[in-house]
Amino acid sequence: MILTVTLNTALDITYHVPVLRPHASHRVTEVTERPGGKGVNVARVLAALGHEVTVTGFTGGATGRVVQEHLTATAGIVDALVPVTGATRRTIAVVDRQTGDTTQLNEPGPTVTSAEWSAFQEAYEDLLASASAVALCGSLPPGVPVGAYAGLVRTARAAGVPVLLDTSGEALRRGVAARPDIVKPNAEELAELTGSHEPLRATQDARRRGAGTVVASLGPQGLLAATPEGRWRATPPARVHGNPTGAGDSAVAGLLSGLVDQLPWPDRLTRAIALSAATVLAPVAGEFDRAAYEKLLGRVAVTSDVTAA
């Protein structure tokens, strides 16, 4: 079982409009909703790939109940969310059909009490007992300590479970110091962590700060991986246009899937790139286009960059 942690779960709502114009009223032509938050998106992709996945984190209020109803209806996903008094947030994606571009609006999460945080930590430790890998994903809701991910990384390591961390800011800085097996920042997050805007240097710096492997998302330029075995670049065959919501989460799913399947790093990166691009091409936030994914698998370019120091 793969465990995904989403401390700030969400209900993702996608609106499609013919053209998005500032300061104007819009007629929405299509509305979809899915359970969301980075770790939930990761879980959905993993389940679609055939993995058994358990989702944990926080859920609350009427929005939280909708999220859980959707999760229950998703094959391959087990709901282990921990209840809180506050309401689960919503995220709104507005897709401009003319350009394919997306505008994203994210609500804040519920305030988590110290008792609720303690209850989650107990549930998390119990779930690790049957996990083959764990992903810690996304922002921290109000009330959760900024060092929360660092503590969760240490707990996973103590249990002998490989852990991937995908967050940002101070939560990432503290989490990296706890020595996660993999971190997956984007270029901006990596630069904020290391102070370097040169990806090759920054990935190695992040490894020195504690990460076992760093896989940096470089947008249209693909992924750069710095591992104990070496460094690789993986690039899609062409730039894709569409809804980018969840694309990074699909890359995380590809990395985790490759980890538990014991694939070599070039194959893990190929899977991650293909899933990410196929997610951009999907019409619904957080889904991926399976036909596009299978086609892209044979077209991703992976090159060995340099031997890791």
Q: CA–CA separation, 34 vs 71, rounded Å?
A: 9
Phi-psi region for residue 81, left (φ > 0), alpha (ψ -120 to 50) or beta?
A: beta
Of the candidates 166, 181, 205, 249, the residue annotated as catalytic is 249
Collapsing DSSP to helix, strand or coil, 181 comes out as coil
Q: Is 289 exposed, middle or buried (0-12, 13-18, 19+ CB in 10 A)?
A: buried
DSSP H helices, 7-93, are: 38-48, 61-72
Give the rounded distance of the alpha carbon of 195 from its chain centre. Answer: 23
Q: SS3 helix, strand, coil % of the chain, rounded to 5?
A: 40, 25, 40
- What phi, psi does 197 have (nearest 5°)? -100, 10
Look-up of token digits 């299509």: 30
Whether 249 is a known active-site residue: answer: yes
Distance CA 225, CA 234 (A): 8
Kind plus residue range of the DSSP H or E element containing 101: none
Would you please indicate which residues are annotated as catalytic (active-site) residues?
Answer: 249
